[in-house]
Chains A and B, each alone.
Chain A
Amino acid sequence: TSKAQVKSIDEVFLKLEKSNYTLAQFFRETENKTDFKFFYTDQAIKTSENVVLISNSGSVEDYLLQIAKQTDLSFKQVNNTISVIVNTDKQKARVKALEIIPITITGTIRDDLGDPLPGVTVMVEGTSIGTVTDIDGVYTIDANEGQTLVFSFLGFQKERRVVGTASIIDLTLRKEESDLDEFVVVGYGMQQKKDITGSVSSMGARQIEDQPIISLDQAMIAQMAGVQVTQATGAPGGGASVRIRGAGSLTAGNEPLYVVDGFPVTNDFDQRNNPLNTINPNDIADIQVLKDASATAIYGSRGSNGVVLITTKSGKSGVSKIDFSVSTGIQQVEKQLDVLNATEFARYINEARNNAWVNSGPGRSASDPNSARLNNVMYLLPEQFSNPESLGEGTNWQDAIFRTAMMSNYQLNFSGGNDKTKYFISGGYLDQEGIIINSDLKRYSFRVNVESKMNERVKVGANITPSYTFSNQSLAEGNWQGGGIIQSAITAGPHLTPYDENGNYTKITGQGIGTSEVDNPVKIANEYFHQQSTLRLLGTAFAEINIIDNLNFKTLVGADMRSFREDIFSSSIINPNSVNPTKPATGTNTTSETRNWLSEFTLSYAKTIEKHTFDVVAGYTIQQEQFDFNRINGTNFPNDEIKTMNAAGLITNALSTKEEWSLISYLARLNYNFDNRYLLTATVRRDGSSRFGEDNRWGVFPSVSLGWRLSEENFMKDVRWISELRLRTSYGLTGNNFITNYGAIGLTGPENYPFGSGSGTVNNGVRLTNIPNSGLGWERNKQLDIGLEFGLLDDRFYLSFDYYNKRTSDLLLNVPVPTLTGYSTALQNIGEIQNKGFEFTLTSRNLVKAFKWTTDFNFSTNDIKVLALGTDGSPIISRQATSASAPTHITQIGSAPGSFFGYNVIGVYQNQQDIDNSAVIMNGNGTIQSRPGQLKFEDVNGDGVINAADRTVLGSPFPDFTYGMTNTFAYKNIDFSFTLQGVQGFEVLNAARRYYGNYAGSYNVLSSASNGWKSETDQGDGVSPMIDRNFNAYAGSNVVNNITSLFVEDGSFLRIRNITLGYTLPSSLLNRLKVANARVNFTVQNAFTFTKYEGFNPEVSAQGGSPLVPGVDAGGYPLARSFMFGLNFGF
């Protein structure tokens, strides 16, 4: 025991070098030569003069006695500590050895689960006396009555116990939940959380592991304030769009910069080929989202959309572990739309034709038989619908294209290390079927992370991540005319079946009853061939050299290699929008290869001088990317069997291009901390980019932030219940460089001309196709952030609050220029957008005893507004590609960019008098075309006529606020958590309503759109116009081709994103099973969505959410609700 190891001062002898010492010198020499430590104050020895020792050999006690005689000091030995005491009342000096060791205390330390904790440090407070617990969690220590024992262990909360008479002190240590002392990754370095003055949100592996997601962007949904993640597609491998504090750009992209283990990954983000899906989320240790300029300016010209820092897992020294986890389960479509069944469809079709007939001229009645009607499918009642009831339910096409799909994820990790080397090696296999038949994704991913100390001064490491992703994509999204499976399944006639009695696909086009030629969605799903594969190698290697104390040099090199291949084959038998059964098959093959290289050199220095702590980092990085692209389009395939391009009889287009870009940067950061109270961070980055004009190639991006930890001030020290109170503010400049690689350069294109005798020979001519812009630069983003951090009761409640105001100016826009330049438009830096809002995060450990309950809540608002546009401020009116011909969006000063644009429906014309008193639609010669039963639009300009000038803003795709909440409960070995995701106050342009809600009787429709106006006394559902097969009934601003407010729906929703129930096996059981840890869990993802939105998923954005045409639902791939069972073993 410790008692036996301690010798008394009279038992220890030493030989001194000399006989004339200052007290400090003597103490130091004694400490060096013995196990004793002196405890004294500076004050105590400052007043003392030099001491003279009579002999230079003897026991420690001998020396101390001599010193006591010459000074006012007494000495007291407690264990190995010798306390130095100033004799205040001039009493006689004392030298006392081993005064008292009255109590030997022993006990067992356990964790929350009751497992013994080895390695816990047990100290007697105020002394250097201490010990650690053994393998069984048992300790023994000697202490005096009234002294305090401090129990500490990394990752657990410190505990204190005052020594009384009891000789056994058993204890349960609680996991450390406050992470303020934790070091987190910031750009080009690490920083303690309590010292961060920028706005950073983070999430750890714990929040990722239980989610059945395939890419890390999906993992971030509802987790962090100011980070809005929109999962618009449920396609296997489909990504999500991530918006950090709104959207500041119109053309240069709004996705954040992702930095994986120090490597800034550049990507063309879209929802079908999401490059993040090659990174296995199970390998991620934590994600830091940098939001304000203080945090992002170190990424300079790429920082304005925020930065997502991803750190992957690494091994821990001393713990060699094998972890195996498997999760498997099923997925089902979260929701089906309520469409008409066969009987209702037949009634609806008949009503549309009867109304068309009655409206076609006077004296015509709905009871007229076909023989009395004009021979036109708009008027004739289809034979097969003469007895609607006989058709029954018919086919639910949604059941036919959706399936219960399997998903499995396997992961094997090896990790471990010693004091020199740490490693983490993982292999993962993901196999996901899509909920639409014939769509799936497989991913094989590997990771090797190693780090080794070569010697005291040199550390090297590498992260290598090969992965292969393969998917069968489906033609889910888009209009039925292009074969969009979702739209086709909603609009296909329910009286038809997918297969005929022989098991062949039914031809459902060419019915000849005035319905549109929607092709068989089951056939499209099965026969449309679209494969994608990506082979990727992302790797970094680093060396860190400790040049002198506190000064480190680090070099990091990395490469991101991606090889992509896509094969699309549209079979001859897929022929939507045509009465013909077949068309020529077409095929496309695309391959691309991306090679991205990074070299980075940083020098860092950290030092504490009394109350001043500072660290600086300075660096130089270069990065470049080469991109090769090939695409071949072909047709004239002999049959549908061979789908590769070699079988194409005719190559219709072949393209082969190369591009590249490069970036050179210089960066520096200073962190300064005075007395833990006042914090300063200043950063600057200077970027040179090949993308910008030669006169504007270099940009400087500075930021500064200040923090004040009020809780460390003396006047706050006594306020015990406040554990952290920190004010912070930052201001800085960042940029956005996501424009085309050669936007600043004048490119050439062909402009040929024939010369020569006869009819001439075409000579090659070359002209400049765009005006060079040597001044072209990055978009500039200036951001102010004011934040408050507030921890209560030892951070049991922790609040974080931010206000931000971001102004993005110099938008990269293709704007009109005087055509005397020879060009009508040019890419210029013109325009400004503002995003401002509040963010609020609360972590609350509501219950911390045996039953634990933690709530994480985040809430954010964002107000987005265009402040300036183009040279003359004229609005940008855009059309989303799935719209017929009418523009869908407007971006104008004073509103949100990409606001929905069209006619505002204010009702239905009830009668002639209503028409006479309302604004009306006229045709070219001034005849009024509006009729009772038709939609009445708002006369925005008040001129009595409804025309294009009456189009107005119908809504915004940007939410007023978003929120997320995770509640975690734990009792003994059982844990339970659920996550809510809320997005409130935004609209969706449900463009597919043009088909499944169009009142024309040419498709199947939503039940809600089938109850149209019939007469003044029977107004149907009161909002729908008269159903009429004759499109011309909606002349002028007809509801089919124009965007109206009926297409714009409130998208607000609250989703139960994740429910997880877990059970951790107790150690008693584990010992028998010979495993270190084991957990089973059951998870439901996307359990339920509360929304008024009528489409599948209010989180929409056809075309990848291009900023000018966002928020459009063209029938996207719906989200899956998944039920997963998971097992996790550690050996």
Chain B
Amino acid sequence: CSEDFLDRAPISQQNSNNFYKTAEDMKNALTAVYGSLQYGGQYYSSIHVIGDMRSDNTEITNPNAGADLQAVDNFTNVAVNSIGNNTWNANYQGIQAANIVIEKIQAVNMDQNLKARYVGEAKFLRALMYFNLVRIFGDVPLVVTVINNPLQGYEYGRESVANVYSQIISDLTEAEESLPFTYGAADIGRATKGAAMALLGKVHLTLKNYPEAAQKLKELIDASGQTNYQILPQYASIFGAANQNNAESIFEVQFKSSSSGEGSPFTNQFAPIGSGGAVVSVGNPLGQNIPTADMNNAYEEDDLRKDVSMRTSYVLNGNTVNHNYVVKYSGTPAANLDSDNNWIVLRYADVLLMYAEALNEQGYVADGPAFDYLNQIRNRAGLPSKTSANADPNLSVPNQAAFRLAVEQERRVELAFEGHRWFDLIRTDRALDLLSAKGMQPHMSIFPIPQSQIDINPTKISQNPNY
């Protein structure tokens, strides 16, 4: 009785003890896991800073931008860096939210299918976050249970990359089993079976498990009857607020303007500094993710994708200003940093190119299926097919090594400014070749562990080599 008297649950706020009791509670908790994708340390900022700006695709030209952003761009980032810090923190924040769903839902009396689906969604999201963490930091602490006490936080050290990946694969495998290929209109944006398969394919590809990668990606391609995924006829119709969650899209981070805190920042972030209202009519241009001259040159002549992806000049007060900038996320924000544009994490073109890559890695087959998938993407862009022996040396892919480069090139332009390039170059061990000119050294394929996390638990958390 005295214990009851002392049990004073918050009246005006729900809490960890009395929440997580019903299916509705769990739905809300799961929504919060998705919500963490919008954090600055996840898809709001970190992914494009790391995925594109650190690579040769884009750079930061805003002289007033934070030194931390510039450091990531030019390989001078150290252990004290807000991008690294935010990325670490935001992903673990999301992982903790996912762990809560996965653990607390077990005791909830609810529809078993729905329960399995919620767990599948949470595991997909947890896998996605660990995939980003492990690719950025290498060995990372592997937390898969709910932390109930601050002291528990000190028990975790860094887990080997291999162990983290086996958790990712296990999570994705379970997610694949329990998720549907499609949702009703109200649930569009949730993780699907296709998303789990695509991500699993990408994980295997990253691990150089080519047969498994190829098999999983092929399964996904073969399931097109159920998934309805397709390569849209027009590249332009993949992007923009009006084309969200289209048939080519597999998983997108959802944003919505004019709804207090759910809008996306990209339209403002990617507009050139000093462009006034010429590029983005509402809010401030922030000059991030500015395509490099090298990126500009990477597009083949007549590539229909270039104009959809980037521009090289804008007109301000009647004067033409020559300046590259990304237009994949253009539009009119409701307010500064408040756009409708989603961030595409996985799309079908990526799947086809990954499949082509996986096939090629298992063995070069002149003008085999790998060529078909590669050319499917090229043809949509208005470009001629590449073949094993083409009169035009630019279109000739005579061997396995050449095919690798062809895929690399195609991925660069097809998936430009979608946060892939850095991870692609790391996966294919090409980063140092291309980026040492920019300052990259061998140890920089992974980021330094945030100093704050080492300081707080030095016995368990160590720094990456050479940082």
B317 at the binding interface (Cβ < 8 Å)? no
Q: How far is the CA of A826 from the CA of B2 in the complex (A)?
A: 28
Out of A747, A759, A828, name the residue touching B150 (CB < 8 Å). A828
A821 at the binding interface (Cβ < 8 Å)? yes
Residue on B nearest A660 in the bound complex, by CB: B8
Q: Which of A110-118, A772-780, A835-843, A1045-1053 contacts B (4 or more CB under 8 A)?
A: A772-780
Report chain B residues within 8 Å CB of A754: 189, 254-256, 259, 262
Contact with A along B25-61 (1 / 0, CB 8 A): 1011111111111100000000000000000000000
Q: How far is the CA of A821 from the CA of B27 in the complex (A)?
A: 22
Report chain A residues within 8 Å CB of B190: 755
Residue on A nearest B183 in the bound complex, by CB: A755
Q: How far is the CA of A473 from the CA of B456 in the complex (A)?
A: 46
B374 at the binding interface (Cβ < 8 Å)? no
Q: Which of B149-169 contact A (CB under 8 A)?
A: 149-154, 156
A33 at the binding interface (Cβ < 8 Å)? no
B461 at the binding interface (Cβ < 8 Å)? yes
B405 at the binding interface (Cβ < 8 Å)? no
The answer to whether B28 touches A773, judged by C-beta atoms less than 8 angstroms apart, is: no
Report chain A residues within 8 Å CB of B6: 662-664, 688-690, 697
Out of B3, B11, B17, B97, name the residue touching A658 (CB < 8 Å). B11
A742 at the binding interface (Cβ < 8 Å)? yes
The answer to whether A747 touches B15, judged by C-beta atoms less than 8 angstroms apart, is: yes
Report chain A residues within 8 Å CB of B10: 659, 741-742, 745, 747
Number of A-B contacts (CB under 8 A): 202
The answer to whether B32 touches A767, judged by C-beta atoms less than 8 angstroms apart, is: yes
Report chain A residues within 8 Å CB of B187: 755-756
The answer to whether A748 touches B92, judged by C-beta atoms less than 8 angstroms apart, is: no
Q: How far is the CB of B137 from chain A (nearest CB, A)?
A: 11
The answer to whether B256 touches A819, judged by C-beta atoms less than 8 angstroms apart, is: no
Residue on B nearest A827 in the bound complex, by CB: B150
Q: Which of B95-111 contact A (CB under 8 A)?
A: 95-97, 100
The answer to whether A748 touches B156, judged by C-beta atoms less than 8 angstroms apart, is: no
The answer to whether B256 touches A664, judged by C-beta atoms less than 8 angstroms apart, is: no
Q: Which of B139-156 contact A (CB under 8 A)?
A: 141, 143, 147-154, 156
The answer to whether A816 touches B452, judged by C-beta atoms less than 8 angstroms apart, is: yes
A771 at the binding interface (Cβ < 8 Å)? yes
Report chain A residues within 8 Å CB of B147: 771, 821-822
Out of A622, A745, A761, A765, name the residue touching B32 (CB < 8 Å). A765
Q: How far is the CA of A622 from the CA of B244 in the complex (A)?
A: 59
Q: Which of B235-260 contact A (CB under 8 A)?
A: 241, 244-245, 254-257, 259
Report chain B residues within 8 Å CB of A761: 186
Q: Which of A746-805 contact B (CB under 8 A)?
A: 746-749, 751-768, 771-775
A818 at the binding interface (Cβ < 8 Å)? yes
Residue on B nearest A874 in the bound complex, by CB: B455
The answer to whether B92 touches A820, judged by C-beta atoms less than 8 angstroms apart, is: yes
Q: How far is the CA of A767 from the CA of B36 in the complex (A)?
A: 10
Q: How far is the CB of B463 from chain A (nearest CB, A)?
A: 15
B185 at the binding interface (Cβ < 8 Å)? yes
Report chain B residues within 8 Å CB of A658: 11-12
The answer to whether B188 touches A745, judged by C-beta atoms less than 8 angstroms apart, is: no
The answer to whether A756 touches B8, judged by C-beta atoms less than 8 angstroms apart, is: no
Report chain A residues within 8 Å CB of B97: 751, 767-768, 822
Residue on B nearest A697 in the bound complex, by CB: B6
Report chain B residues within 8 Å CB of A763: 27-28, 31
Residue on A nearest B13 in the bound complex, by CB: A747
Report chain A residues within 8 Å CB of B259: 752, 754, 762
Q: Which of A651-696 contact B (CB under 8 A)?
A: 656-664, 688-690
B467 at the binding interface (Cβ < 8 Å)? no
The answer to whether B156 touches A817, judged by C-beta atoms less than 8 angstroms apart, is: no
Report chain A residues within 8 Å CB of B241: 759
Q: How far is the CB of B120 from chain A (nearest CB, A)?
A: 16
B89 at the binding interface (Cβ < 8 Å)? yes
Q: How far is the CA of A819 from the CA of B450 in the complex (A)?
A: 10
The answer to whether A753 touches B38, judged by C-beta atoms less than 8 angstroms apart, is: yes
Report chain B residues within 8 Å CB of A753: 31-32, 34-35, 37-38, 254, 262
A273 at the binding interface (Cβ < 8 Å)? no
Q: How far is the CA of A767 from the CA of B16 in the complex (A)?
A: 9
Interface size class of B (residues with CB under 8 A): 35 or more
Q: How far is the CA of A748 from the CA of B17 in the complex (A)?
A: 10
A871 at the binding interface (Cβ < 8 Å)? yes
Report chain A residues within 8 Å CB of B154: 817-818
Contact with A along B176-218 (1 / 0, CB 8 A): 0000000001111110000000000000000000000000000
Q: How far is the CA of A826 from the CA of B30 in the complex (A)?
A: 23
Q: How far is the CB of A659 from chain B (nearest CB, A)?
A: 7
A824 at the binding interface (Cβ < 8 Å)? yes
Q: How far is the CA of A219 from the CA of B300 in the complex (A)?
A: 87
Residue on A nearest B8 in the bound complex, by CB: A690
B228 at the binding interface (Cβ < 8 Å)? no
Out of A742, A757, A822, name the residue touching B15 (CB < 8 Å). A742
B457 at the binding interface (Cβ < 8 Å)? yes
B93 at the binding interface (Cβ < 8 Å)? yes
B464 at the binding interface (Cβ < 8 Å)? no
Contact with B along A594-631 (1 / 0, CB 8 A): 00000000000000000000000000001010000000
A872 at the binding interface (Cβ < 8 Å)? yes
Q: How far is the CA of A754 from the CA of B256 in the complex (A)?
A: 7
The answer to whether B256 touches A745, judged by C-beta atoms less than 8 angstroms apart, is: no
Out of A756, A819, A826, name the residue touching B188 (CB < 8 Å). A756
The answer to whether A758 touches B244, judged by C-beta atoms less than 8 angstroms apart, is: yes
Out of B14, B28, B95, B453, name the residue touching A765 (CB < 8 Å). B28
Given contacts A688-B6, A745-B15, contact A871 B28 (CB under 8 A): no
Residue on B nearest A775 in the bound complex, by CB: B149
Out of A662, A755, A760, name the residue touching B8 (CB < 8 Å). A662
The answer to whether B14 touches A774, judged by C-beta atoms less than 8 angstroms apart, is: no
Q: Which of A632-661 contact B (CB under 8 A)?
A: 656-661
Q: How far is the CA of A754 from the CA of B259 in the complex (A)?
A: 9
Query: Which of A624, A688, A771: most chain B CB closer than 10 A?
Result: A771
Report chain B residues within 8 Å CB of A826: 150
B340 at the binding interface (Cβ < 8 Å)? yes
Report chain A residues within 8 Å CB of B185: 756-757
B301 at the binding interface (Cβ < 8 Å)? no
The answer to whether A816 touches B456, judged by C-beta atoms less than 8 angstroms apart, is: yes
Q: How far is the CA of A760 from the CA of B154 in the complex (A)?
A: 40
Residue on A nearest B31 in the bound complex, by CB: A765
Q: Which of A812-864 contact B (CB under 8 A)?
A: 816-824, 826, 828
Q: How far is the CA of A820 from the CA of B187 in the complex (A)?
A: 30
Query: Which of B17, B141, B151: most chain A CB closer than 10 A?
Result: B151
Out of A659, A660, A697, A756, name the residue touching B186 (CB < 8 Å). A756
B233 at the binding interface (Cβ < 8 Å)? no
Q: How far is the CB of B80 from chain A (nearest CB, A)?
A: 14
Q: How far is the CA of A813 from the CA of B447 in the complex (A)?
A: 31
The answer to whether A764 touches B31, judged by C-beta atoms less than 8 angstroms apart, is: yes
Report chain A residues within 8 Å CB of B141: 818, 820
Report chain A residues within 8 Å CB of B33: 765
4 tightest A-B CB contacts, nearest first: A822-B96, A765-B31, A746-B16, A751-B32
Other than the given A745-B15, A753-B254, 20 more pairs (CB < 8 A) read: A658-B12, A664-B2, A688-B2, A690-B8, A742-B15, A747-B10, A748-B16, A754-B189, A755-B187, A760-B188, A760-B244, A761-B186, A763-B31, A765-B29, A772-B148, A775-B149, A818-B153, A819-B88, A821-B153, A872-B455
Pairs A–B under 8 Å by Cβ, sample size 17:
A624-B5, A656-B12, A659-B11, A660-B11, A662-B8, A663-B6, A664-B6, A688-B3, A690-B5, A697-B3, A748-B19, A752-B259, A753-B32, A755-B190, A763-B31, A820-B156, A828-B150
A interface list, Cβ under 8 A from B:
622, 624, 656-664, 688-690, 697, 741-742, 745-749, 751-768, 771-775, 816-824, 826, 828, 871-872
